[in-house]
Amino acid sequence: MTAQTGGADTYYVPEQSRLAICLATSVAVLILGAAIGLNQMTFGSGDANWTMLWLGLLGFVVILAVWFRQTIVENRAGMNSAQLKHSYALGMQWFIFSEVMFFACFFGVLFYVRNLAGPWLGGEGAKLMTNEVLWPAFDFSWPMQTTPQEAVGGVADQIPANTGTFVGPKESVSWSGIPLINTILLLTSSVTCHFAHVALKADKRSAFNLWLGLTLILGFTFVGFQAYEYYEAYNHLGLTLEAGIYGSTFFILTGFHGFHVCMGAIMLSVQWLRSTVGGHFTPDDQFGFEASSWYWHFVDVVWVGLFLFVYIL
Amino acid sequence: MSEHHGPAKGIKRWIFATNHKDIGTLYLWFSFAMFIIGGAFAMIIRAELFQPGLQMISPEFFNQMTTMHGLVMVFGAIMPSFVGLANWLIPMMIGAPDMALPRMNNLSFWLLPFAFTVLLSSLFMEGGAPNFGWTFYAPLSTTYAPPSVTFFIFGVHLMGASSIMGSINIIATVMNMRAPGMTYMKMPLFVWTWLITAFLLVAVMPVLAGAVTMMLMDIHFGTSFFNAAGGGDPVLFQHVFWFFGHPEVYIIILPAFGVVSQIIPAFSRKPLFGYDSMVYATASIAFLSFIVWAHHMYTVGMPIAGELFFMYATMLIAVPTGVKVFNWITTMFKGSITFETPMLFSIGFVFLFTIGGFTGLMLAIAPADVQYHDSYFVVAHFHYVMVAGAVFSMSAAIYYWLPKWCGRMYDETMGKVHFWIAFIGFNIAFFPQHFVGLAGMPRRIPDYALQFTDFNMMSSIGAFIYGAAQILFLFNVIRTIVAGKKVDDPQVWEGAQGLEWTIPTPAPYHTFTTPPQVK
């Protein structure tokens, strides 16, 4: 266990820890399993073997849980100085910043494709000959329902770059159905999450549990609707990963967002269990919940961007 | 509670490490190992290029060597070496007992050996190692890539996670662990440059993760991000990559700026000239690094407005960089200079880095770059910045702080010999590449036209000399650690400034368990 001294004039001196090397090992098993499995899936002849991936993932989740548990135990034992707590808070804030940049990357891709690359493929401006020579009959519109490949009549009679098979979707996803409901759900959940925070600061335990529980229900309902939307996209709209750039950007943005919602919901669930079962948190020491709630608000803001740029515009 | 515990015994000290000095040592040795491996790849490249025609290796293997040399040197040697330096020095420089988040610090390090084992193992895989250049442009890295690209992608994910965690740790340490009185504008410049570097890393490593993730999706899940047949664009890959890649260049060079800004004042026996302007210049360079990326892509067919914007923005970087070079030289002006090894490497840095900066200005000019693009001129340019910039400053840093770390002095004569062999070898290797590049020799090709033979032979000989100098460096460092002359003066260098020179030599396992007062 880490020894941390608490006084104002002494610093925290860490002890050795097995956690990091175990986590690094499990991550290495995880990525090796993923790479081996994916290569068997794409380049191999038989079925892909995912055993190593699952083993690595199991190890990763278990060790991460042990790690977080240890930090919680240390904090509840009063071992964390105010300075160390602030370090944890900084760590979480900058982690969220890195996540912002991760999503910024995919939003950048979307903007580039819609405003530059797509029109160029359609022959806009100085790129007239790109369209005339390479992709005749391709007209750019968004959502892209006919890919350049379809416009020139398939894979066979085209330049070497015409590889893979990309069939555009029959329909795009309308913003007014599930996405609108999901927007309302997620925005509401950010508000309930904030109410939970206020309740905790006012030391109203049962109100906190209630508001946070409500947040979780809203969050998981969002994930359920999202799963249903994917089911519809694949089975009725012809909107798949292979459906050209519209499908690619749609799924990478909503997919990573959905994954982050799941992460945030799991984090908040842990906080809910800590409060209801463990009786953790006090009005002035609640970092586990605060960090999770920051993450939740971040996920919410990303969704607003998605709703605007992926669904409406 | 254990307030005065020393290091654990045996291997446990290293694999369970939470001490910033131990982790710094791990980073430094790891990066040196990678430096040797990446250097071996470079030697293979130069041996092949010693004469025109295919001499020793197949073109396929040559491509793997150029790719792996770049990847190993950038992500395995230079970046981790500066993280190692940050680990060792930042807590000692700001009066902190350790890094802010010591266990995560250990995780950041231990991801790296796994990442590079995965990356290097691809050399033995069916279809060979990644062969698409260190910039891994699509579709070479997607449609036409060997299967080992999947391992490469996950390796990059691990390196990225390691860098992000390492940077978050550095930011938290600098923002939260400074001793009382150590205001931001009193921090040593090395700490400043690392704070800004860490910010750049947290901002752009996720973008790199996004780029390789899209590659993974294109290869295995049928998406068409980088495939025009589905409405995507291979040039999109270049935009995403260089949005990461250009700040990455400053991630590599800013800590090097920090190092020489510590060393030049020490051996000039004068305070650094223009401290404030150094800080602002560093911040300006970091800001500009986000809006210049497409100067790597002048020949892909961007609209003219884009070319002009990126050209002028790139040229702007010369202003803060010029401020820095001016300040280093002005620091030396009228100083009582002595030329110990760290100072020699620092002056070598200023001289050669400036040459690299000037060739960078030439490359920034869009119409001229159409001629220089993808030629050996570019290779010469970035080796002047990466090797004579980053690696020279790293060598300077090792000679400067090694006595403080292990309480023993390196052999000065051997150090000076190392410098001169490295300096001469480096220039023989890379200066002629400017000429062959301007004359039209393309990079990343295992063969060349006959008229380039003489300069290529010179280049290869210089590269071997530079490589040999590093063996001497390794020998000198090991000799210092095991048998160097003992030093016990906390100051070590009479002109050295900063908190790290107030603690005993060698630096105790735990420093500043109570915060020092900074006036």
Q: Is A60 on the interface with B (CB under 8 A)?
A: no
Q: Is B104 on the interface with A (CB under 8 A)?
A: yes
Domains of chain A by range and CATH?
1-80 (1.10.287.70), 85-313 (1.20.120.80)
Decide if B506 is inside a domain. no
Taking the CA atoms of B254, B180, B89 and A90 in sequence, report the sign of the dihedral they define: negative
Considering only CB atoms, which chain B residues are within 8 Å of A75? none
Rounded to whole angstroms, how far apart are CA atoms B200 and B196?
6
**pLDDT of B206-231, one tens digit each?**
999 999 999 999 999 999 999 999 99
The residue-averaged pLDDT of B351-355 equals 97
Rounded to whole angstroms, how far apart are CA atoms B153 and A185?
36
> Of A249, A258, A177, which is closest to residue A221 (Cα–Cα)?
A258
pLDDT of the residue at A41: 95
pLDDT of the residue at B332: 97
Taking the CA atoms of A137, A142, A147 and A150 in sequence, report the sign of the dihedral they define: negative
Q: Which percentage of chain B shows pLDDT scores above 70?
A: 99
Reply yes or no on whether B248 is catalytic.
yes
Task: Check CB contact under 8 Å for B154 and A34.
Answer: yes
* 3-state SS assignment for residue B513: coil
Task: Check CB contact under 8 Å for B203 and A67.
Answer: no
pLDDT tier for residue B517 given thresholds of 50, 70 and 90:
confident
pLDDT of residue B503 exceeding 70:
yes
Rounded to whole angstroms, how far apart are CA atoms B94 and B168?
17
pLDDT of the residue at B320: 97
Which residue matches tokens 């899209």? B214
List of residues 6+ apart from B142 with CB closer than 8 A: B149, B215, B218, B219, B226, B227
pLDDT of residue A228 exceeding 60:
yes
pLDDT of residue A25 exceeding 70:
yes
Task: Check CB contact under 8 Å for B2 and A10.
Answer: no
Q: What is chain A's mean pLDDT, rounded?
A: 92
Decide if B247 is inside a domain. yes
The residue-averaged pLDDT of A195-204 equals 96
Half-sphere exposure of A129 (CA within 13 A, CB side): 2
pLDDT of residue B1 exceeding 50:
no
pLDDT tier for residue A13 given thresholds of 50, 70 and 90:
low
Q: Across the strands, what pairs with B486?
A: B408
Do A247 and A146 meet the contact criterion of CB atoms below 8 Å apart? no
Tell me the longest C-alpha to C-alpha distance in chain A.
76
Could you say which residues from 14 to 43 on chain A have a Cβ atom under 8 Å away from some Cβ of chain B?
Answer: 14-21, 23-25, 27-28, 31-32, 34-35, 38-39, 41-43
For B289, which DSSP code? G
Of B114, B512, B514, Cβ closest to residue A24: B114
Domain range holding B343? 22-501
**pLDDT of B88-115, one tens digit each?**
999 999 999 999 999 999 999 999 999 9
Decide if B8 is inside a domain. no
pLDDT tier for residue B518 given thresholds of 50, 70 and 90:
confident
pLDDT of residue A11 exceeding 80:
no
Reply yes or no on whether B261 is catalytic.
yes
pLDDT of the residue at A157: 61
Lowest pLDDT segment from A58-67, A277-286, B371-380, B506-515 = B506-515
Decide if B5 is inside a domain. no
Q: Is A227 on the interface with B (CB under 8 A)?
A: no
Nearest CA in chain A to B176: A87
pLDDT of residue A6 exceeding 50:
no
Which residue matches tokens 């260089």? B242
Q: Is B241 on the interface with A (CB under 8 A)?
A: no
pLDDT tier for residue B5 given thresholds of 50, 70 and 90:
low
**pLDDT of A151-194, one tens digit each?**
988 776 667 778 888 999 998 888 999 999 999 999 999 999 99
Reply yes or no on whether B135 is catalytic.
no
Q: Is B19 on the interface with A (CB under 8 A)?
A: yes
The residue-averaged pLDDT of A136-151 equals 92
Q: Is A239 on the interface with B (CB under 8 A)?
A: no
Q: Which one of A9, A15, A45, A242 makes the best mutation probe of the B interface by having the most chain B beta carbons within 10 Å?
A: A15
Domain of residue B333, CATH code: 1.20.210.10
pLDDT of the residue at A158: 60
Q: How many domains does chain B have?
A: 1
Decide if B96 is inside a domain. yes
Burial class (CB in 10 A: 0-12, 13-18, 19+), B85: buried
Reply yes or no on whether B110 is catalytic.
no
Nearest CA in chain B to A143: B231
Considering only CB atoms, which chain A residues are within 8 Å of B177? 11, 83, 87
Q: Is B204 on the interface with A (CB under 8 A)?
A: yes
* 3-state SS assignment for residue A50: coil
Half-sphere exposure of B417 (CA within 13 A, CB side): 14
Could you say which residues from 99 to 118 on chain A have a Cβ atom under 8 Å away from some Cβ of chain B?
Answer: 99, 101-102, 104-106, 108-109, 112-113, 117-118
- Å between A184 CA and nearest CA of chain B: 28
**DSSP-assigned letters across all residues of B301-342:** ---HHHHHHHHHHHHHTHHHHHHHHHHHHHHHTT------HH
Reply yes or no on whether B21 is catalytic.
no
Burial readout B374-394 (b: 16 or more C-beta within 10 A, e: otherwise): ebbbbbbbbbbbbbbbbbbbb
Reply yes or no on whether B405 is catalytic.
no
Task: Check CB contact under 8 Å for A11 and B515.
Answer: yes
**pLDDT of B166-211, one tens digit each?**
999 999 999 999 999 999 999 999 999 999 999 999 999 999 999 9
Rounded to whole angstroms, how far apart are CA atoms A118 and A312?
18
pLDDT of the residue at A15: 83
**pLDDT of B25-84, one tens digit each?**
999 999 999 999 999 999 999 999 999 999 999 999 999 999 999 999 999 999 999 999
Q: Is B27 on the interface with A (CB under 8 A)?
A: no
Do B216 and B150 meet the contact criterion of CB atoms below 8 Å apart? yes
Could you say which residues from 147 to 206 on chain A have a Cβ atom under 8 Å away from some Cβ of chain B?
Answer: 147-149, 155, 158, 161-166
Q: Which one of A25, A30, A31 makes the best mutation probe of the B interface by having the most chain B beta carbons within 10 Å?
A: A31
Reply yes or no on whether B167 is catalytic.
no
Q: What are the distances in angstroms from CA B10 to CA A52, A71, A285, B16, B477?
A: 31, 27, 39, 11, 21
Do B57 and B44 meet the contact criterion of CB atoms below 8 Å apart? yes
Decide if B99 is inside a domain. yes
Q: What is chain B's mean pLDDT, rounded?
A: 96
List of residues 6+ apart from B310 with CB closer than 8 A: B291, B292, B293, B294, B295, B298, B302, B366
Considering only CB atoms, which chain A residues are within 8 Å of B178? none
Task: Check CB contact under 8 Å for B231 and A147.
Answer: yes
pLDDT tier for residue A4 given thresholds of 50, 70 and 90:
very low
Burial class (CB in 10 A: 0-12, 13-18, 19+), B157: buried
pLDDT of the residue at A91: 97
pLDDT of residue B4 exceeding 70:
no
Do B447 and B45 meet the contact criterion of CB atoms below 8 Å apart? no
List of residues 6+ apart from B428 with CB closer than 8 A: B458, B459, B461, B462, B465
Helix residue ranges per DSSP H, chain A: 19-43, 51-76, 82-112, 118-121, 128-129, 148-151, 178-201, 205-232, 244-276, 287-306
Region class of A244: left (phi > 0), else alpha (psi between -120 and 50), else beta: left
Rounded to whole angstroms, how far apart are CA atoms A11 and B99?
11
CB count in 10 Å sphere of residue A8: 8
Reply yes or no on whether B126 is catalytic.
no
The residue-averaged pLDDT of B413-437 equals 98
In which element (H, E) is residue B152 found? helix B149-176
**pLDDT of B244-300, one tens digit each?**
999 999 999 999 999 999 999 999 999 999 999 999 999 999 999 999 999 999 999
Task: Check CB contact under 8 Å for A101 and B203.
Answer: yes
pLDDT of the residue at B56: 94
Q: Is B181 on the interface with A (CB under 8 A)?
A: no
Q: What are the distances in angstroms from CA B198 to CA A1, A42, B62, B321?
A: 29, 37, 34, 19
